[in-house]
Every structure is written in C-alpha cells, then in structure tokens.
C-alpha cells in the first residue's frame, strides 16, 4: 500500500429538469460487468455516500445489475433514496421516508415537540436555527439518518464546505442552512451546473461572508473585490493565467460592479445581521452593461448579471480544464495524475450541458474510479459520518449521539460549516492522513471510548440485524464481513496479524497475546509466529468457532454482541480506515 498515512436560490424556484443520461463520457470507460461486483459497489458507497445504509441484499442486487443501471439507483439528488438508506421501521411515528429532508425542515422537526421527533428532549435545542450549533448538529445527523439520502449530503458537504465554502465564524446558522438548502434544491432540480454555482453565489451566507451586500455603484464602484475574485477562482477554477492584466483590471473589477445593489432581508431570523434572503435591487447597482471575460453582461441587476456570467464562465478554457479535476479531487481521488486529469477534462468537455450528477455517475462506474491508482484519504468528518452509518441500525443511536459527535467537534476540532481554511475549504484528506495528532485522537476514540461499540445500556446492539444469515456465522466469516464492511479493500490488508487480533476479540473478547499465548500475555504476538504451522492451526481452529449470537440464552447473545463491538473498535482504529484505494 502506498498510503502516506500509515503512521438562495435567492427566493427563486427551479423547475426540475429531466434526469441526466448515464452513459460513457469521452475519457471515462464504464467498468466491465465482471469488475462491477460487491466490492465495487461498496467502494462507491464509501466514497460517495458516507458508506450508506444499504443492506447486504441490496448491495448484491446492485452488483448483479449492469453498472449503469445500478448507479442510477445508487446516486441521485432526490431527498429520499430508500434503497441506499432504508427507513427505520422501529420508530413508529417518525416516518422519515416521507418527511422533507432540507436542513430547514429537519432542524424544525428535531428541535420541536412533534410526536415523531425521537431526539431526547435535552438535546433538541441544539438543532434549532436559533442555536449557534443548529446547522452543524442538523447536518451531522441528516447525513446519517435512515430514510434520507447520504449521497445528497456528501455532495452538499463538498459544495458548501469546499467548493464555495462559507464559514460559520462569519455567518449565521440561518444563512448557512438556507445556502445549503438552496444549493441542494438546484442540484435536485437537475439544473445545469453553472446555475448551481450561481445559486450558491447568490446566497446570504456567501454575501455575508464576503460583504458583497455593501457593494454600491454611484458614479463609480464603491465595491470590494473579494468575492468577485473568488467567484472566478473558487467557483470555476479560473485564475486568468492567459490574460492576467485583463483578468485583474477588467474581469475582476467589473464582476465587483456586477455584484452591486445586493441587500439582505429577513424572513424568519430574529435580527437583520442574520438575514438570509438575498435581494438584487437597482438602487446602487451599476446602471450599464459591464464587460467580463470579453462578454457584455447586460442583466438588469446583480442576480441577472451573475447568472449570465456563470453561463459564460462554465465555457472558459480554464474552467473546462480545472473544474472537473477540482470536483474529483475534492470528493474521490486525492492523487489525480496528469493522465487521469486529461481523461476527466475530456469527459467534462463531452457534456454539452454540464451536469454534476451525470458526471459523478459516469465517473463512479468508470475504470478511472475503480483503479488501483486512485487513493482517497479520509477526512475527520467523513470518517465519523461513515463509521456511524456503518454501525448504527436505528436512528435512535444518532439522536442520542451514541457515537459522540463531541469528539469530532471539540477533540479533533472539526465542525461542519467551519472550514479549516475558511473560504479555501475544510480539512483535506492528505491533511488528516499526515497528522499524527489526528490519528492519536482517532485511535483514542476507538480504544478509550470502546464502550460505545461494545455496549450502550440504553441502546444495546444486536448485530444479527446487520450480519448475514442473522449472525449464524463462524468467527472467520464474521471477521471477514466486518473487515469488508468497514475497510472495503477486498481483504487485501486483512493479513494474518490483523486477522489474529480480530479472531481473538471475536472468540474471547480479549487482546491477542493473552488468548494466543496465555503464559506470555504481555509479549506481543509476531507475524512469524502466525506464519508458523502452529500459528496457522490456531487461526484455522479459532476461525471455525461460533460466536453464539443465535443462542437461546440472553447472556450468551449479549456477550457475543460485546465481542463483536470490541472487534469493530479494533478494525476502525487501524490506519486502513483512514484511506481507500480504487481497486
């Protein structure tokens, strides 16, 4: 393994467009039916849906379909994807599968006294839009709740925390939630991608972040150029390299003028500084057309000019070269090679109308994604959401915060909507992988906080609900399922030493040394020992043991579930949980 880590719509509604075709794009060749197997499906889920909550049976069904057919079912921007995220039927009044999934709607539900709200009473105020943590807590739960669509929130997280990032340090919860919902609404309506970017640019969060509501034109432009520059650079990857003087002196300055006349109003917020509704007025707006990128923008106000500019920018040569690579690097591959970048650019150029969903679907079933060359390092937030999704079988666990989001927020100091680099985005995968401190904290969360996985008195685990054959498996079968469920590597890294540690925890609930060599419990077991004939016999014999999940005795079942939890804590504490290869 080569991993370095091994140490408002602005109040404008969008009519839905036809769903994009799923077919080969130039440069992206769909994997063969033989290569499209359960491992490939799981890799898509881990990368694009925080692991998802699909059952083993559903994963097998997707693996048996042609990849283009399967990916249509797996990835969509609909509010609900019940194959990817089956509802929690144990909560009789929740009905999450039919409830609106916008952050605004979920924040309202989870902070209310609604009989379908299963959030513990003491935790409800934390979901309110009036609470500083409201957007953060709501998103963290929305990305994991069963009955929603984790792919939608995976992409929404990238769009608002990396692409056009806004920081909660400078914006309000109301603005953050409105910007997130407006951006996802545009994606769900299958709008051209330039329209999605324009929508995000015209949100209260972006406006407040950059102060563009103060841009005014009276005989001359009393404007700051901060977002005028980032609209081009962050939004479309346009740096003006070919014409640096023109870019700075004409395009940037006139984009700032185009952004004049914006003001914010409040529809629900308690004060004006938190106002979330963007209005594009004529008072203080530049009264004439302005030239940007050698094009006259003659829209009547800032909203009209920015949407017009987005349609120009999406065709700019630098945008065509940079934007598809930015998307893939941000979501799926931290080590895009020049050859891979060229293929992504060909694919992007091959779409006359740029559609993010079509691009991601085609990429997710491509030989480029399912390649050993692809490496995705996992950020702190991605890791927390994915592990929670793959462990929890009930929404109650998320509502009660069994997996302790506070460790992510306050211990690792990673909060959604508080990007580590402000407007330049959140923690990257390589930053997480290269941080010994992050690894120590992650390891401590799995070891010192092992009780979360072993047993929680109020929410005891019954792994029969998730394991194949209702848990009637041997130690070897259980170990291999758990490894593949969390690590998703085709067991490439599940060597004798890793296997022995998991076998010891599953069979005895103790560390390897005292189980393998009771007379030397403090001496580490070596790979050489396990490669010996005696070691191989021990692995084979231990692997054949049953766990006891099917026992009629409650105490035996409880002990088996605790041993599985200990094995899970070990697996997710390994460095293999912190990165993923494409094949």
Concatenating the DSSP letter of every residue in 221-261 gives EE---HHHHHIIIIIH-----SSHHHIIIIIIHHHHHHTTT
| Calpha distance 471→548 (Å, rounded) | 9
User: Residue 426: pLDDT above 70?
Assistant: yes
**Average pLDDT in the 127-142 region?**
96
Q: Between residues 457 and 202, which one has the greater pLDDT?
A: 202
Which stretch of 110-119, 170-179, 394-403, 442-451 has the lowest confidence by average pLDDT?
Answer: 442-451
User: Residue 6: pLDDT above 50?
Assistant: no
| Calpha distance 555→200 (Å, rounded) | 54
Are 509 and 566 in contact by the 8 Å Cβ rule? The answer is yes
Q: What pLDDT score does 8 carry?
A: 34
Give per-residue pLDDT as tens, 246-272.
Answer: 999 999 999 999 999 999 998 888 888
Q: What pLDDT score does 9 carry?
A: 36
Exposure pattern of 105-133 as b/e (b: 16+ CB <10 Å)? Answer: bbbbbbbeeeeebbbeeeebebbbbebeb
Q: What is the mean pLDDT of the chain?
A: 93
Give per-residue pLDDT as tens, 366-383.
Answer: 999 999 999 999 999 999
Q: Is 547 left (phi over 0), alpha (psi -120 to 50) or beta?
A: alpha
Percentage of the residues of the chain whose pLDDT score is greater than 70: 96
Nearest residue to 208 (alpha-carbon basis) of 246, 178, 247, 240: 178
Give per-residue pLDDT as tens, 542-576.
Answer: 999 999 999 999 999 999 999 999 999 999 999 99
User: Residue 216: pLDDT above 50?
Assistant: yes
Q: What pLDDT score does 450 carry?
A: 76
**Average pLDDT in the 421-435 region?**
93
**Average pLDDT in the 427-453 region?**
86
Instruction: State pTM to two decimals.
Output: 0.93
| Model confidence band, residue 583 (pLDDT cutoffs 50, 70, 90) | confident
Running DSSP on this structure, what letter comes out for residue 275? -
Give per-residue pLDDT as tens, 12-65.
Answer: 445 566 655 555 799 999 999 999 999 999 999 999 999 999 999 999 999 999
Q: What pLDDT score does 10 carry?
A: 39
Give me the torsion for CA of 231, 236, 237, 240, rounded to 10°: -70
**Average pLDDT in the 416-442 region?**
92
User: Residue 292: pLDDT above 50?
Assistant: yes
Give per-residue pLDDT as tens, 511-539.
Answer: 999 999 999 999 999 999 999 999 999 99
**Average pLDDT in the 191-198 region?**
98
Give me the torsion for CA of 85, 35, 471, 394, rounded to 10°: -10
User: Residue 461: pLDDT above 50?
Assistant: yes
DSSP letters, 165-209, are ---TTTS-HHHHHHHHHHHHHHHHTT--HHHHHHHHHTSHHHHHH
| Model confidence band, residue 386 (pLDDT cutoffs 50, 70, 90) | very high
Nearest residue to 379 (alpha-carbon basis) of 340, 421, 343: 421
Residue 123: phi and psi, rounded to 5, are: -100, -5
**Average pLDDT in the 214-242 region?**
96
| Model confidence band, residue 449 (pLDDT cutoffs 50, 70, 90) | confident
Q: What pLDDT score does 485 carry?
A: 97
- Residues whose CB is less than 8 angstroms from the CB of residue 481 and which lie 6 or more positions away in sequence, other chains included: 467, 468, 473
Q: Between residues 71 and 266, which one has the greater pLDDT?
A: 71
**Average pLDDT in the 201-209 region?**
96
User: Residue 457: pLDDT above 90?
Assistant: no
| Model confidence band, residue 11 (pLDDT cutoffs 50, 70, 90) | very low
Q: What pLDDT score does 7 carry?
A: 30
Q: What pLDDT score does 2 carry?
A: 37
Q: What pLDDT score does 5 carry?
A: 30
Give per-residue pLDDT as tens, 324-382.
Answer: 999 999 999 999 999 999 999 999 999 999 999 999 999 999 999 999 999 999 999 99
Q: What pLDDT score does 407 carry?
A: 87
């Amino acid at each position: 393994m080569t991993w370095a880590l091994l140490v408002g719509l602005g109040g404008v509604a969008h009519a839905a467009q036809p769903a994009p075709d799923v077919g080969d794009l130039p440069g992206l060749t769909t994997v063969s039916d033989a290569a499209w197997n359960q491992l490939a499906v799981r890799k898509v889920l881990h990368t694009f849906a925080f692991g998802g909550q699909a059952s083993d049976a559903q994963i097998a069904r997707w693996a048996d379909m042609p990849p283009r057919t399967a990916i249509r079912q797996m990835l969509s921007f609909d509010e609900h994807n019940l194959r990817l995220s089956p509802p929690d039927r144990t909560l009789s009044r929740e009905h999450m599968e039919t409830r609106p999934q916008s952050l605004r709607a979920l924040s309202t539900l989870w902070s209310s006294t609604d009989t379908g709200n299963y959030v513990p009473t003491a935790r409800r105020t934390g979901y309110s839009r009036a609470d500083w943590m409201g957007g953060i807590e709501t998103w963290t739960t929305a990305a994991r709740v069963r009955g929603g669509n984790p792919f939608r929130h995976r992409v929404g997280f990238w769009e608002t925390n990396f692409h056009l990032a806004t920081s909660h340090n400078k914006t309000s919860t109301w603005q953050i939630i409105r910007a997130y919902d407006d951006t996802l609404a545009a994606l769900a309506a299958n709008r051209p991608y330039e329209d999605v970017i324009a929508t995000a640019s015209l949100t209260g969060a972006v406006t407040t972040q950059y102060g563009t509501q103060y841009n005014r034109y009276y005989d001359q432009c009393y404007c700051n150029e901060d977002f005028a520059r980032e609209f081009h650079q962050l939004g479309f990857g346009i740096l003006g390299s070919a014409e640096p003087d023109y870019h700075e002196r004409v395009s940037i300055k006139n984009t700032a003028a185009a952004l004049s006349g914006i003001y914010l109003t409040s529809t629900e917020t308690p004060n004006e500084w938190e106002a979330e509704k963007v209005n594009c007025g004529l008072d203080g707006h530049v009264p004439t057309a302005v030239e940007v990128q050698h094009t006259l923008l003659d829209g009547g106000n800032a909203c009209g000019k920015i949407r017009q500019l987005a349609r120009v920018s999406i065709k700019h040569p630098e945008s065509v070269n940079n934007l598809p690579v930015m998307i893939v690097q941000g979501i799926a591959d931290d080590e895009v090679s020049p050859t891979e970048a060229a293929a992504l650019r060909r694919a992007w150029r091959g779409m006359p109308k740029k559609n993010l969903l079509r691009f991601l679907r085609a990429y997710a079933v491509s030989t480029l994604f399912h390649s050993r060359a692809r490496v995705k390092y996992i950020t702190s937030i991605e890791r927390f959401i994915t592990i929670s999704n793959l462990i929890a079988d009930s929404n109650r666990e998320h509502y009660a915060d069994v997996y302790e989001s506070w460790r992510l927020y306050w211990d690792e100091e990673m909060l959604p909507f508080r990007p580590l680099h402000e407007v330049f985005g959140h923690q990257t995968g390589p930053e997480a992988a290269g941080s010994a401190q992050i690894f120590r904290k992650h390891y401590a969360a799995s070891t010192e906080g092992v009780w979360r996985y072993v047993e929680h008195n109020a929410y005891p685990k019954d792994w029969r609900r998730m394991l194949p054959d209702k848990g009637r498996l041997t130690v070897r079968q259980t170990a291999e399922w758990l490894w593949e469920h969390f690590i998703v590597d085709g067991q490439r890294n599940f060597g004798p030493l890793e296997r022995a540690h998991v076998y010891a925890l599953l069979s005895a609930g103790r560390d390897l040394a005292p189980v393998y060599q009771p007379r030397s419990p403090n001496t580490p077991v070596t790979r050489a020992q396990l490669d010996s004939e005696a070691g191989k016999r021990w692995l084979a014999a231990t692997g054949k043991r049953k766990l006891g999940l099917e026992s009629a005795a409650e105490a035996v079942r409880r002990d088996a579930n605790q041993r599985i939890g200990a094995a899970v804590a070990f697996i997710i504490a390994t460095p293999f949980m912190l990165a993923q290869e494409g094949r």
